[in-house]
Structure 1
Amino acid sequence: MSEVGGISQTSTERLVLGDVEISRVVEVERLALGAEAIVPDAPGEVWRENTDWLAPDHWDPASGDALAVVQTWVLRSEGKTILVDTGIGNGRERPGVPLFEHLDTDYLDRLAAAGVRPEDVDIVVNTHLHADHIGWNTREGHGSWVPTFPNASYLMPAADLAYFGPERGDAVRVDHRYGIADAVTPVVQAGQAVLWEGAHRIDSHLTLEAAPGHTPGSSVLRLTSGTDRAVFTGDLFHVPVQILEPCCSSGFCEDPKGAAESRVRVLGRAADEGELVIPAHFGGSGAVEVRRRQGEKFAISRWVS
C-alpha cells in the first residue's frame, strides 16, 4: 500500500461469478469524511452499535469518520473487457472538492497489473456522472483531454448528461461542470459515448437498469451467469449503514427520497434472489450478501471476498 497526497492506495483482487471474471482495481483506498456528512439522517447509535464490523474498513470510531474507497470494477464477459466506473483521474481541477484535485496516482499501472491495457477495454460503464466515477474516462494528450480507452464504447445515462450538461450553465455545481467538461464532453466529441435510458443490455450476462435518486440517471449493473447473481450498485450505497437503514440517503444525493426508494427496491431484489451487492465505494471485501430483516429493513448476511 502506498500514500499519495495523504490518501492511501492499494491494488487488485479477483472474483469469478459464473462465466464472468471480476477484478477490483483501487484508485484511492481510503477517503475519510464525517459520517454525518455522508449520511446525515443515520442515527449515531447505528454506527456505535455496529462498531465491531464497521471498524476498521468502514468507520473510524476515534474520529467519527466514515471511510470510503474509490475503485473500478473490471469485468471480463463473453470475450469483452468492461470497466465499471473510472474513479477521479489525475490532474483534475475540482473547485470545492480538494480531495479530488490534482491527484497523481498510478491507476493505469494498477489496471495493467490486472491485465488491462487502455486499448484492451471494450466497454466503459459510468453508473452515473459524478466526478469520482468518470475521471479516468479521459487523460491528458497533447494539451487536451482525450479518451483514455481508445477502442471502448462509453455507456452513460442520458438523464445525467441532460442534468449536468453545459446547457444548464450555472444551475450545475461548479465541480460537476468541470467533471463533464474534462471527462465526458471529450468522449462525446470523439463519438465514443452511448447514451441510454431505462435499461441497456450489454450481453447475455450483464444489463444496466435505471435506479434514479442519487442522480437523475443513476444506474445499477446486474450480472446473471448460471446460478450466480450480482448487482453493481454505484452510489446507491456509500457506507454499509445504508443497508441497515436504507431510508438514509447520502448528503450527495440530488433526490434523497428517490434514492431511498431505489435503494429499498434493489435491496429487496438482492435479498429475494440471492444477488451479491457490490457498491462503488465499500472498502474491505467490497461485496456483501443481504437478507430481509423486517419490512423495508435489511441486514448483512456475510461479506464475500
Structure 2
Amino acid sequence: MTSTATRIADEPSGAGAAWDLGGLVVRRIDEIHLPPQTSPWLLPQATKDVIDEAPWLRPDFADTDVLHLASHSFAVETAALRILVDTGIGNGKARANPAWNNLDTDYLHRLAAAGFPPESVDLVIITHLHTDHVGWNTRLSDGLWIPTFPHARYLASRAEWDYWASADMDEPRRQMFRDSVHPLRDSGQIDLVDVPEQGCEVAQGVRLIPTPGHTPGQFAVELHGTNRSALITGDSIHHPVQLSHSHLTSSADTDPGQAVRTRNKLLTDLADTDTLLLGTHFPQPTAGVVRSQGGHYRLLSEPGTQIPPTRP
C-alpha cells in the first residue's frame, strides 16, 4: 500500500452509530476508513467478478471492483460497566503498513463524546493480538507507552498470548508488542482468559466464543440484551462479501482452512435469526442481520441510530 487511510473525522458521519439491545447499548467508535489498496491485499480472492455475484454489496460495502473496509471499536454500555471491544490502530505508532503509520486521529475525542472518556472504561476486550486491534491499548506519555485506560482490565486469550510468545515474529510485530501489548503486562492490567468451546461469560450479558483460524486464539464477543443479541466479529468475518462467499480467506489468516470452518459455523448459527452482526472492519452501516439467499447469505443492514450518551 502506498496511500494513506481516510480520516473519518473529516466526515459528518464520524460520530458513530449505536444499537440498543435492551439494557445494553453498543456504539461504533470510528477511527479511519482504510484505503482502497486494503481490499486486494487483505482479501485477494474478492475480485470484481466475485463482487458482481453479490450486487447487494454496492454501494455501501463495495465500489465497482474493490471492497470498502474500516477500522473502529465497539463501546458497550451495560448497567454496571463500560466496555471497549478492540482498540484499532492507534496514534503516533511506527508501522510497516503506510496506511497505519503514525496516525493522528481524534479517536479519543469521539470515544469521550460517546460517553467513554478513557478513565471511565472498566474493561477492554481484545479479540486477537493483531496490530489493528490493539493500537489504542496505549498512548505516549513523556516518551513512554502507557495504558490509555488507566482503570481498566484488559482481556486477551491465553491461547493467543501463548501462540505469539513462541512465534518467530518479524520486527514490525515485535514493535507492536513493545508499544501496545507489553505495557499492559508491565502495568499488571492484562488478564489472560481460557475460552472453552462453549464460550465463557466475562460480564453480565457479555460472552466470549472461540473463533480460531485467523489467529489460533481469536474469539468473538456475544452481547445479550433484554430485547435482542448481537455478535462482534473480530476478524472471523472481515467483510460482508464473506457472507456470500464464505470460502474467501484473508492474507493474514494463520490457518485459512480453520478460518473458513469457523466462519461457516457462525453464519449457520446466525442465519435467519434476529441476532445483530457487528463487523469489526465492516464499513458503514456496519451492522445487520444475516439472511439466507440462494444457498448463500447476505447482510440485511441495520444502520443504527444516534443515542445520546448517559454521561458527558
Relative to the length of structure 2, the TM-score reads 0.88
Q: Which amino acid aligns with 2:133?
A: H
Q: Which amino acid aligns with 1:173?
A: D
Correspondence list, 1:95-174, <5 A: 95=96, 97-165=97-165, 167-168=166-167, 171-174=168-171
CA, structure 1 residues 71+268, in 2 after alignment: closer, same or farther (shift >3 Å)? same
Q: CA RMSD in A?
A: 2.0
Aligned to 1:146, the other structure's residue is in SS state: strand
Kept in 2, the 8 Å contact 1:285–1:303? The answer is yes
Match of 2:194 among 194, 197, 217: 197
Aligned to 1:299: 298
Aligned to 2:271, the other structure's residue is in SS state: helix
CA, structure 1 residues 227+112, in 2 after alignment: closer, same or farther (shift >3 Å)? closer
After superposition, give the CA deviation of every residue in 1:228-278 in whole Å (9 maximum; x if it has no partner). Answer: 011101111222110111121112111111111111111111125431111
Correspondence list, 1:70-81, <5 A: 70-81=71-82
Aligned to 2:177: 180
Aligned to 1:75, the other structure's residue is in SS state: strand
Instruction: Give the drift of 1:292.
Output: 3.0
Q: Which amino acid aligns with 2:178?
A: A
Aligned to 2:6: 7
Aligned to 1:94: 95
Aligned to 1:65, the other structure's residue is in SS state: coil
Aligned to 1:69: 70
Instruction: Give the drift of 1:35.
Output: 3.6
After superposition, give the CA deviation of every residue in 1:171-204 in whole Å (9 maximum; x if it has no partner). Answer: 2233322211111100011111011122331223
Relative to the length of structure 1, the TM-score reads 0.90
CA, structure 1 residues 49+247, in 2 after alignment: closer, same or farther (shift >3 Å)? closer
Instruction: Give the drift of 1:154.
Output: 0.3
Instruction: Give the drift of 1:19.
Output: 0.9
CA, structure 1 residues 193+177, in 2 after alignment: closer, same or farther (shift >3 Å)? same
Q: Which amino acid aligns with 2:17?
A: E
After superposition, give the CA deviation of every residue in 1:50-107 in whole Å (9 maximum; x if it has no partner). Answer: 34x423332222xx33221100100001221000110100111112x11111111111
Instruction: Give the drift of 1:40.
Output: 2.6
Distance 1:269 1:142 in 2: 48
Match of 1:60 among 46, 60, 63: 63
Aligned to 1:226, the other structure's residue is in SS state: coil
Distance 2:5 2:272 in 1: 41
**Structure 1: runs of 5 or more not aligned:** none
Instruction: Give the drift of 1:26.
Output: 0.2
Aligned length: 294
Identity of aligned residues (%): 35
Kept in 1, the 8 Å contact 2:242–2:248? The answer is yes
Instruction: Give the drift of 1:304.
Output: 4.1
Kept in 2, the 8 Å contact 1:269–1:275? The answer is no
Kept in 2, the 8 Å contact 1:38–1:66? The answer is no
Of 7-16 and 40-49, the range deviating more from structure 2: 40-49
Aligned to 1:264, the other structure's residue is in SS state: helix
Q: Whose RCO is larger (CA < 8 A, sep 6+)?
A: 2
**Structure 2: runs of 5 or more not aligned:** 9-13, 305-312
CA, structure 1 residues 182+244, in 2 after alignment: closer, same or farther (shift >3 Å)? same
Q: Which amino acid aligns with 1:260?
A: V
Kept in 1, the 8 Å contact 2:5–2:32? The answer is no
Aligned to 1:211: 211
Kept in 2, the 8 Å contact 1:292–1:299? The answer is yes
Distance 2:59 2:174 in 1: 34
Q: Which amino acid aligns with 1:180?
A: F
Kept in 2, the 8 Å contact 1:270–1:290? The answer is yes
Pair 1:41 & 2:27 matched: no
Q: Which amino acid aligns with 2:297?
A: F
Aligned to 1:248, the other structure's residue is in SS state: coil
Pair 1:31 & 2:68 matched: no
Aligned to 2:254, the other structure's residue is in SS state: coil
Aligned to 1:98, the other structure's residue is in SS state: coil
Distance 1:252 1:236 in 2: 11
Kept in 2, the 8 Å contact 1:127–1:133? The answer is yes
Distance 1:174 1:86 in 2: 21
